[in-house]
A and B are shown apart, each in its own frame.
Chain A
């Protein structure tokens, strides 16, 4: 079945440092979505990527979809304490499969 692997599982950074999480699918995806879950909260949609090689930016966040539509990344530039939480990718290929998430902690 479809599998979505996400690395790293945890990332601890100093405020101001950059952060990247990677998502890899065992199958070609029709689209991929990224979500953020704050501690004690529920996943909240960030963005959806559909096209091969697509790159989208939201302020300090940059999202990429691989050429083969099997991998994706989320990069945060100059992290802030408000960025803490768990970031999930969700690959869609007939059904949605969530990665295990990357939990980001930021030291002020």
Chain B
């Protein structure tokens, strides 16, 4: 297995533009997480899906952020419109949840987003 795949690896955009980050989780995993990491705020959980259904989106900063998981092998995180304060590394991670116990999370390489 190739592990968790994220694209793009780097994104530079201008304020106001729409940004879409993509993630392919590990096959067989039923849980998917989107995180944002900055020096100031550390590693923040944005949203968590289980069996393609959003379970906890309390970490999503505001309405400019949206996430979808149309099927078990693909998820997107969209920022529209983007702002400079959205600059961060965005990680996708996948895992397997059964009987209330969450296995280890496998992180993708991350997308480094810079909003000018």
Contact = CB atoms under 8 A, between A and B. Distances in A.
Interface stretch (B13-21, B22-30, B71-79, B99-107): B99-107
Given A42-B110, A88-B43, A100-B42, A33 B105 contact: yes
Contact of B106 (A30, A45, A101): A45
Interface in A71-103: 88, 90, 92, 95-98, 100-101
A96 B104 contact: no
Interface residues of A, number: 20
B101 A31 contact: yes
B102 A31 contact: yes
Interface size classification for chain B: 20 to 34
Interface string B76-116: 00000000000000010100000011111111111000000
A45 B43 contact: no
A62 B72 CA distance: 36
Contacts of B109: 42
Contacts of B58: 1
A100 B102 CA distance: 20
A44 interface: yes
Interface of A: 1, 30-31, 33, 35, 42-45, 48, 50, 88, 90, 92, 95-98, 100-101
Given A42-B109, A43-B107, A100-B42, 18 more contacts: A1-B58, A33-B105, A35-B105, A42-B107, A42-B108, A42-B110, A44-B107, A45-B105, A48-B104, A90-B105, A92-B101, A92-B102, A95-B48, A96-B45, A96-B48, A96-B105, A98-B35, A101-B42
